[in-house]
Amino acid sequence: MFNVVLVEPEIPQNTGNIARLCAAAEMQLIIAGKPSFVLHDSHLKRAGLDYWEYVRLKHEPDLAAFLAGLDMTRTYLLTTKAKGRPYTLIHPQPGDFFLFGRETGGLPQRLLEDYPAACYTIPMKNPQVRSLNLATSVGIVMYHMLALHNFG
């Protein structure tokens, strides 16, 4: 239904957890760029449990080429830097792309600057908290998107 894109993820356990979510919800998982771990990492595999056969996983090693090929009218950038634009304003269509950045740095700044209208955030009440865990963020956003389509 939707495409979850992790841009250069750093923590294999997060990616494994997201892979399991994608398997359960029948969403494609795309790893864009170079992750900070090998894709056969034991922590990654363990976090995904025995659901890997159900994960539609694609690796796009050339981040610049992948980003250049995206239809930005069907792409959403999830970032802590999009103040005042909650993810609940997104009205997705099947096949849309949802990009989530690295755990320590988020999405590339240039991408956010070039496409401000595509930027959305997860609101947080406490201003002292800079961000949420990547796997938690993907779960929050993507299950909301699925609910908008009656989990169909």
What domains are there in the chain, each with its CATH number?
A: 3-148 (3.40.1280.10)
| pLDDT of res. 42 | 74
Q: What is the mean pLDDT of the chain?
A: 92
Q: Regarding predicted confidence, which is higher, 32 or 54? A: 32
| pLDDT of res. 44 | 64
Does the pLDDT of residue 46 top 80, yes or no?
no
Predicted confidence band at 41 (pLDDT cuts at 50, 70, 90)? low
Predicted confidence band at 56 (pLDDT cuts at 50, 70, 90)? very high
| pLDDT of res. 51 | 79
Answering whether pTM is above 0.85, one says: yes
Q: Work out the average pLDDT over 109-114.
A: 96
Q: Long-range contacts: 60-66, Cβ < 8 Å, 24+?
A: 60/30, 60/31, 60/32, 60/33, 61/33, 61/34, 62/33, 63/7, 63/8, 63/32, 63/33, 63/34, 66/30, 66/32, 66/33
What is the sign of the dihedral through the CA atoms of 90, 94, 99 and 100? positive
What span, in angstroms and rounded, lies between the C-alpha atoms of 70 and 106? 18
Does the pLDDT of residue 2 top 90, yes or no?
yes
